[in-house]
Amino acid sequence: MSVIIDAAGFFEHARNAMLKAERSIYMVGWDFDTRIDLVPGSANDGAPEKLGGFLNWLAKRRDALDIRILKWDVGLINSITRGETPFYILGWMFSNRVHLKLDGAHPSLSAHHMKLLVIDDKVAFCGGIDMTVGRWDTRDHLDNDKRRRSPMGFSQGPWHDATTCLSGSAAATLGELARTRWEHATKEKLDRVETTSDPWPDGLDADFRDIEIGIARTLPEYEEQGQVSEIEAAKLAMIAAAKKFIYIESQYFASRTIAEAIAARLREPAGPEVVVINPQGAEGWLEAKAMDSARIRLMKLVRVADRHARFRLLYPVNDARNPIYVHAKIMIIDDRILKLGSANLNNRSMGYDTECDVIIDAPEGRDDIARKIAFHRNGLLAEHLGYDVRRIEDELRSKGSLIKAIDALNRTDRRGLVEVTMRELTVDEELLAESDIADPERPAGVATRMSSRLRRRAHPYG
């Protein structure tokens, strides 16, 4: 397994892996935009750069290749309103080579939010990055990067995101999940493919080898499908297991269940430090009103519990001090556990939308895994603070504290981290924050079923 930070790397490696596909490509996600450049200005292999043309190019050259795209049905409205050409959408919906279907197998106002790309059941990408507009960026997050433009030519702001690339039985299992999702949405059963291909991307080094990988899902109760809240259980178990550090990146901080679990650890005299990286604010008027209001309420809850000053909620800015939008969904516990996927710290991700995360845990005797998990956490801090990862490692070793290391290295005249400001909510914001209209926790009539058995699994690792 490898961790890929930011979409420039993901798009490049995904395109390279798809070039090696022999039998199947499954793309399952919240949104896809056929107009995006996967490798802006750097294609040198004769294949198209734009997603739509690239997939058609592959289909024409490989008779045995089956390409399946499953897109959230409400996401089609986004495609039309932003000016995406209907040429690919309509063509693929009636094509025998590239099959596009819309996923409406979910409760009203629920979203199909997992983001999977599976090639030949041999390699899979699972994370938080959508193959759509506004996602492409490098780890430099340059201001006014000309490569970071919309298909209409408009400038787009810096964007921080993450995904994983996996092989082996984990990739095959994600392939099975993609086929299951396809069947739920279309009532068409797909057979598993058999191939000798090796579509691991050229130039992508494996961070972890010979490891066990956990796959956690959120699936809302719908028709014959029962409620699945594995991601919520995993998050609670991880928070309870932390000894020194809880490091989180998320688009939101809006789940009361998770906030209360964090608050409980902060009340402990010798509990862990908690660092949460968010965007400065949510996108869109309604989303900002609902999610930012919920964040302020939970910040107050957590800060009351933070008797020992071990909590920080921060957002990153680039060298021009412009905010970087955080879309990554990462949780790293000490140097021991890493979880990365599509699920945010909001109610929807815990029980109402479809989500998929992958988890690795460093067992006793696997110091190589622990070192690499720590390296990725420190690399994320290095990206946000504008330092080499070795500087972060030295500061952590010296201070013994994530928060003290951040404070020591943070600057106000360049790239860095800024504290999310607290303010009082207006009356309408209070009402919206209390409402579950924008961020429901479960489908109507489904109770929160966090069993005592699952809660007991949230134990410190030995």
Tell me the per-residue pLDDT of 282-311, one tens digit each, with 9 for 90 and over.
776 556 677 788 898 899 999 999 999 999
pLDDT of residue 407: 97
Q: Is 396 helix (H, G, I), strand (E, B) or coil?
A: helix
Say which CATH topology domain 2-186 has.
Endonuclease; Chain A (3.30.870)
pLDDT of residue 452: 36
pLDDT of residue 293: 83
* pTM greater than the 0.85 cutoff: yes
2-186 and 214-456 have identical folds: yes
364: its two tokens: 């006793």
Note the pLDDT tens digit of each residue in 365-394. Answer: 999 999 999 999 999 999 999 999 999 999
Note the pLDDT tens digit of each residue in 435-455. Answer: 555 667 766 555 544 433 333
What's the rounded Cα separation, in Å, for the pair 276 and 296? 14
What's the rounded Cα separation, in Å, for the pair 158 and 173? 33
Q: Does the structure show a pLDDT above 80 at 426?
A: no
The pLDDT-based confidence of 153 (bands split at 50, 70, 90) is confident
Q: Give, in order, the Cα–Cα distances in Å from 441 to each of 75, 181, 230, 407.
A: 21, 21, 14, 35
Bridge partners (DSSP) of residue 225 are 222
Bridge partners (DSSP) of residue 376 are none
pLDDT of residue 282: 76
Q: Does the structure show a pLDDT above 80 at 241?
A: yes
CB atoms within 10 A of CB 367: 10
Higher-confidence residue: 406 or 193? 406
What does CATH list as the number for 214-456? 3.30.870.10
93: its two tokens: 């919906």
The pLDDT-based confidence of 260 (bands split at 50, 70, 90) is very high
**Domain segments of the chain as ranges:** 2-186, 214-456
Q: Give, in order, the Cα–Cα distances in Å from 403 to each of 169, 220, 410.
A: 38, 36, 10
* CA atoms within 13 A of residue 258's CA, in its CB half-sphere: 29
Higher-confidence residue: 341 or 150? 341
- Report strand pairing: 98-103 vs 66-72: parallel
Cα angle for residues 101, 90, 48 (degrees, 5° grid): 95
Tokens 């408009």 identify what position?
A: 154
Q: Does the structure show a pLDDT above 80 at 432?
A: no
